[in-house]
Amino acid sequence: MGAMSTIRLLSGGAAQGLVSHLQEDFRTETGCAVDALYDAVVAIKDRFMDGDAADLIILTDAIITQMAEEGHVVPGSARVLGVVKTGIAVRKGDEDLDVSTPEALKAALKAADAIYLPDPEQSTAGEHFVKVMRKLGVYTALEDRVHIFPNGDDAMAALAKAKGKGLLGCIQTTEIRFAPGVVEAGPLPPRLELATIYTAAVTTRATNPEGAADFISKLTGPAIAPLRTDGGYEA
C-alpha cells in the first residue's frame, strides 16, 4: 500500500465505535486511511447496490451472506466481528431504570414521555423493538410518543439532548456504549432479546482489496479482543 492509500468503508452503525477507535492506529501502522460512512444496515446495503464505492462493508451476517451469494463479496474474505445484543438506552443519570423483565420494560415504556428509535424499515434494532412493543401490547397506545430517526446515531444524539421524564431508546449495545450523553440501562429482557452477528467483508468492487483485508484483520484479530468486548461485541 502506498503512503497515501485509502480504503472506503460502508458500515452499519453497530461498528462505528469500534472502527473509530482503530482508524488512527491503522493509518499510523499502514499509511492507509479509512474513509467510513455509517447508516442503518438496509440503507447501507441499498447504497452499495445503488453503486456507492466500497472496499469493505460491515453489515449483519445474514446480509453479508446474501451479498456473497449474489457475487458482491470476495469469496473467503468475510470475518465475524462478533455477536451484538440490542439494549435500552437512557440519558446519563437515568441508568437505574429497570428493564430486566418484560413487565419492567412495559412499565418503563408506559412511563416514558418519548421513545427514540432508528427507522424500523431500515434498521435491525428499530424493526425488532416495534415488534417488542406490539408483543407487550403498548405500541398502539404509545405510537405518538415514538420518535423515528434515520439511524441509531441520530436517535441517540436526539435522546441525549431531549427533555422529559423517563426518556429511553432502543439500539444495539455497541452503538449505546460509544454514543455521547447516553448509557445502557440494560439489554432487552429474556423472551424479548435480539442478538445479531456482524460481519466484515471485502467487496468485489474494491479498488484497494489488500488494504480492506488488512483492516478486517485488525478489526477481528486477537489483539483487540478486549476492545471488542468492552464495545459490546460477544464472541
pTM of the model: 0.91
Q: Which residues pair with 195 in a beta bridge?
A: 85
- Which stretches within 61-138 are classed as H helix? 61-69, 102-111, 124-135
| pLDDT greater than 50 at residue 1 | no
Q: How far does Cα 56 stand from its chain's mean position?
A: 16
Q: What is the pLDDT of residues 117-168, one digit of tens each?
A: 999 999 999 999 999 999 999 999 999 999 999 999 999 999 999 999 999 9
On whether the CB atoms of residues 86 and 152 are closer than 8 A, the answer is no
Name the class of domain 6-82+198-234.
Answer: alpha beta
All three cell numbers of 187: 439489554
235 pLDDT band (50/70/90 cuts)?
confident
Q: What is the pLDDT of residue 94?
A: 95
Domain boundaries, the chain: 6-82+198-234, 83-187
Cα–Cα dist 234/187, whole Å: 13
Task: Tell me what the mean pLDDT of segment 201-227 comes to.
Answer: 97
| pLDDT greater than 80 at residue 26 | yes
Chain-wide mean pLDDT for the chain? 96
Cα–Cα dist 132/219, whole Å: 31
| Domain 83-187: CATH superfamily, name plus number | Periplasmic binding protein-like II (3.40.190.10)
Task: Tell me what the mean pLDDT of segment 62-82 comes to.
Answer: 98
Exposed/middle/buried for residue 94 (C-beta within 10 Å: 0-12, 13-18, 19+)? middle
